[in-house]
Amino acid sequence: MKPPIFEYFRPKSIEEAVSVRADHDYSAILAGGQSLIPTMNFRIANPTAIIDISRIDSLAEYRIDDSQIVIGAMVRQRDIELSDSVYKVHPLIRETLEHVAHVPIRCRGTVAGSLAHADAAAELPALLLVSNGCVVAHSASGARIIDANELFQFHMTTSLADNEIITEVRIPVMHDDAGWAFLEFTRRHGDYAVAGVAVILRFSEDGICEESSIASCGIGSRAVRLPEAEAVLLGKKLDSNIINEASQAGKEYVSAADDTHATTEFRQHVLSTILSRAINIAKSRARYGSE
């Protein structure tokens, strides 16, 4: 199929881009196009104007500050995946990106674009949530910061206003003693997740879990944190009983109805299983005590 007719704009600055955005009631932002173009071809999206931000040079850069990774809206997923400097301060990013679609798609797709698309089964929204990240959105009236837990509202629906453009993704650097893991179950490699989990853990010197962050994708209408599973881990040494209790608490967040990919019951089983494995992996990677 072919997309509907639209006007095409290729601004050279953020200011020009948000001005065009403000002038059109139903516009769409073109960065990598790996999400937008298919939705247009299937007439899921019918924008009257396309704003191609590929000529805005400042959006094609990323940097690492003392406390966060700042990723411009035109930075490709593959560039972040292969960045050793990013891996050094947040190894979970690479591990998550390795599960996103296929390499050719990651070579074109952008980190910001996937977050703006907000597919409920996509991996990057879960990454942003588990990392307590945020995005910077610009409009003609200025910029604002949107935390991850406020950004995702429903499948392919965010809290972005119609006149806003994500210009930056900000992900806090991970503590160097933290443990991490990302696991998902898919019917085929590269498919969207039937269920996926991202975990970050920190421990005291005597092995007590002091910080736990868990997020999931593919289990409902949007990516979500799993606070009850997080709470089970906090303040405890993570033996098999505690980890099993947390994995059972996590499956209660599965809200997706039966579909052609999986039943609700199967998703619950999958989430519980991979969550238990992810917690064990994160625990094994964490550094504490004399380690």
DSSP class per residue in 124-149 = HHHHHHHTT-EEEEEETTEEEEEEHH
Comparing C-alpha atoms, which of 53, 109, 57 is closest to residue 79?
109
Here the tokens at position 218 are: 């593919």
The pLDDT value given to residue 191: 86
Alpha-carbon distance 113 to 123, whole Å? 12
The rounded distance, in Å, linking the Cα atoms of 124 and 135 is 12
In the chain, the domains with their CATH numbers are 7-52 (3.30.43.10), 60-172 (3.30.465.10), 179-285 (3.30.390.50)
pLDDT at residue 1, as a whole number:
67
Give pLDDT tens digits along the chain (291 positions). Answer: 688 899 999 999 999 999 999 999 999 999 999 999 999 999 889 999 999 999 999 999 999 998 999 999 999 999 999 999 999 999 999 999 999 999 999 999 999 999 999 999 999 999 999 999 999 999 999 999 999 999 999 999 999 999 999 999 999 999 999 999 999 999 888 888 999 999 999 999 999 999 999 999 999 999 999 999 999 999 999 999 999 999 999 999 999 999 988 999 999 999 999 999 999 999 999 998 644
The pLDDT value given to residue 66: 86
The long-range contacts involving 41-48, CB below 8 angstroms and separated by at least 24 positions, are 41/1, 41/2, 41/3, 42/1, 43/1, 43/3, 43/4, 46/4, 47/6, 48/6, 48/7, 48/24
CA–CA separation, 138 and 14 (whole Å): 8
For 287, the 3-state DSSP assignment is coil
Report the C-alpha gap between 231 and 284 in whole angstroms.
19
Please state the pTM of the whole predicted model: 0.97
